[in-house]
Amino acid sequence: MGSFLRKQPSYLFILIILHLVAHEARTLSSDGEALLAFKKAVTNSDGVFLNWREQDADPCNWKGVRCDSHSKRVINLILAYHRLVGPIPPEIGRLNQLQTLSLQGNSLYGSLPPELGNCTKLQQLYLQGNYLSGYIPSEFGELVELVALDLSSNTLSGSVPHSLDKLSKLTSFNVSMNFLTGAIPSSGSLVNFNETSFVGNLGLCGKQINSVCKDALQSPSNGLQSPSPDDMINKRNGKNSTRLVISAVATVGALLLVALMCFWGCFLYKNFGKKDMRGFRVELCGGSSVVMFHGDLPYSSKDILKKLETMDEENIIGAGGFGTVYKLAMDDGNVFALKRIVKTNEGLDRFFDRELEILGSVKHRYLVNLRGYCNSPSSKLLIYDYLQGGSLDEVLHEKSEQLDWDARINIILGAAKGLSYLHHDCSPRIIHRDIKSSNILLDGSFEARVSDFGLAKLLEDEESHITTIVAGTFGYLAPVHRVYAVWQSHREDRCLQFWGSGT
């Protein structure tokens, strides 16, 4: 008995050691902790994180995660199109063995973490189709193994960093559809890419997009002596005076321009019909094709084109921020609404077609279906279902009959359900950005259908990034837009939709 008591402390010590070893074995790896930090930073509605458990020894069996079979380090993180909302946390940079990071098609916002530059084994980085803003970190130049980099369709600003010149293995590069400005680096790996990698960034210049930078037009050195301090002061004072004069002239010019635009708008409104239809016929004769999204229409492309050629100014039923609307009546009695959008940039034609395919795939009870489109040399002719009740704006302001409160509530509920579907259930999600009473159409039973969804973003990408047409309608900005001038995040954009319904 005495000998057992003497040996007991040794047994206890061994048990404690075994317990600590077992506990250490169950402790989550550093890669797992980094991934849990990512999970904490974002929200998700499709359950992709359900098996991401803190008690696991490693994250290798987590959905979207792939590890090296020997080291158990994370090498792939693929969470594309999983309805992720939130910022990318800096902890993502702790995955220093990562080879593929794919987060495209979500609703991620905020800036790109410079810590991603620590992931020097990265070969593929896909972050396109989110709401990421701010600058492209110069630290991305440390990703020397990178083969593919796609940051397109975000809201990134600033210049393309020169550090990306070092990415000698880069074979796929895309920063299109952002707000980037300045000169594209003219040396290193980026010289191998053409304008398709940069399209939609109106402030960029460089030989890749055949746009000469302003600085290149000025001689870098002409051999003259440096000006004296007095000369510099006089020059600065002269510049200030010149700026005041220019500002005054610009203000007066802007006022005159607005007045001229109002006059010209009234003139075009009176004479628009015949001129527009004349161009309409000419462009159809120049060659057109029809793309249909839903197979439930008993018409061939030839039938539709033949009907389009018979239309005249009497078929015009409206004009809005996106173009003229025509009434297209087929021989069997079916009626459709035809929206004509004039092309302004031929280089974006394929992008436009791809986005229209996405919009055409959306079908919902409270949305106006996009049935197809006619692709002509100078415009897109979008074919929608025709709603005989007109727009909510017409019912509220032009028609004599008054809507009772039950009807108003039913309309706003229908519109809200349509917007909710766009925001939460579509893949990818669609932000309307031009919701107002004229874009809420009514059927014969006064049931609401949301129209023109997706067009504001599509046309903004094609034409310009920051104007008062940012929401699709000239002169109209929802109150949140007036404060920020351009949307800064996905959450902000969803909330402002309900300012403009007018019900």
Active site residues: 434
Q: What's the residue count for the chain?
A: 503
Only one residue has tokens 């932000």, namely 431
SS3 per residue for 22-72: HHHHHCCCHHHHHHHHHHHHCECCCCCCCCCCCCCCCCCCCCCEEECCCCC
CB-CB contact of 149 with 170 (8 Å): yes
CB-CB contact of 139 with 120 (8 Å): no
- CA 199 and chain centroid, separation: 14
Q: How many helices (H) and strands (E) does the chain have?
A: 11, 20
Give the count of beta carbons closer than 10 Å to the beta carbon of residue 235: 11
Long-range contacts of 64-68 (CB under 8 A, 24+ apart): 65/35, 67/31, 68/97
CB-count exposure of residue 195 (10 Å: 0-12, 13-18, 19+): middle
CA distance 202 to 178: 9
CA distance 198 to 196: 5
* Cα–Cα–Cα angle for 322, 438, 268, rounded to 5 degrees: 50
CB-count exposure of residue 483 (10 Å: 0-12, 13-18, 19+): exposed
For residue 312, which amino acid is it? D
Structure tokens at 26: 């169950």
Give the count of beta carbons closer than 10 Å to the beta carbon of residue 207: 14
**Dihedral of the alpha carbons of 239, 241, 242, 245, in degrees to the nearest 10:** 160
Residue 343 marked in a binding site:
yes
For residue 71, which amino acid is it? S
DSSP 185: P
Query: Whose CA is closest to 187, among 169, 204, 162?
Result: 162
Query: Whose CA is closest to 145, among 76, 198, 93, 98?
Result: 98
Query: Whose CA is closest to 149, among 110, 106, 193?
Result: 193
Q: Which residues are annotated as a binding site for ATP?
A: 343
Q: Which residues are annotated as a binding site?
A: 343
